[in-house]
Amino acid sequence: MQLRVALCQFDMGWEDIPGNLAKAGRMIGSAEAGLVVLPEMFATGFVLDPRRVAEPMDGRIVTWMREYACRTGRALTGSAIIRDDGRYFNRQLFVRPTGEVTVYDKRHLFSIGGEGGLFTAGTERVVVEYGGLRLLLLVCYDLRFPVWSRCRNDYDAIVYSASWPESRREVWRTLLRARAIENEAYVIGVNRVGVDPSARYTGDSVIVDFMGRTAADAGDRETVIEATLDREALERFRTKFPAWRDADPFTLG
């Protein structure tokens, strides 16, 4: 099984939901991939006060994602600020071409920067099956916590949507490869470029294979990159070098 993946790296307008949705649509219009991945809070920018821009699950952002997926026959995933049952979530949305939506709520909120103030942290890992591959959905700061992303033979690729600032650029690049190597899995990391009121972003969106090799790299400009994930190649490597069998057992609380 093979899955073609496209990463959309762009500079988003601050709290400009209509403008950002239109821009994302233009950028990914020419993608040939079966799965398109967007950055963290792609429709608003990394807003720490969700009360200003949060939407319900039937709001503009989710509606746009469902319409796009249904119209193009591609799956679409990215993070958005969602208001649900009186609480606010940094929610990764995975939308299938049927319009079905699977959600993952960011587990590790960036409390250092204030994200932990009004947002509610998620409690469950979420793996979705699509295009013959099993995909673990994670968001930005989750990248720093390897236990949460440890592969227990339950996924083939990790998908990270992020708003990762330039000041920690090398951390981003290093940890993406570390997660790929230690879990013997593909890693997809999509970041934004540009500036917002608190940070500058240099992109470095990348697709890394199970040996830590770069399959596609977006650099520091607005662009769409693509690469193919090959599950058979991954399984051959895991069979030949089954380091995962020697991993320490643990239980997540």
Residues 6 or more apart in contact with residue 23 via CB below 8 angstroms? 10, 12, 13
Q: Which of 40, 55, 115, 184 is catalytic?
A: 40
- Residue 229 has φ and ψ, to the nearest 5°, of -95, 130
Q: Which of 23, 55, 115, 140 is catalytic?
A: 140
15 has catalytic annotation: no
How open is the CA angle 59-129-73, to the nearest 5 degrees? 55
Using CA atoms, how far apart are residues 233 and 253, in angstroms rounded to an integer? 33
151 has catalytic annotation: no
Q: Which of 8, 23, 55, 106 is catalytic?
A: 106
70 has catalytic annotation: no
Which active-site residues does the annotation give? Answer: 40, 106, 140
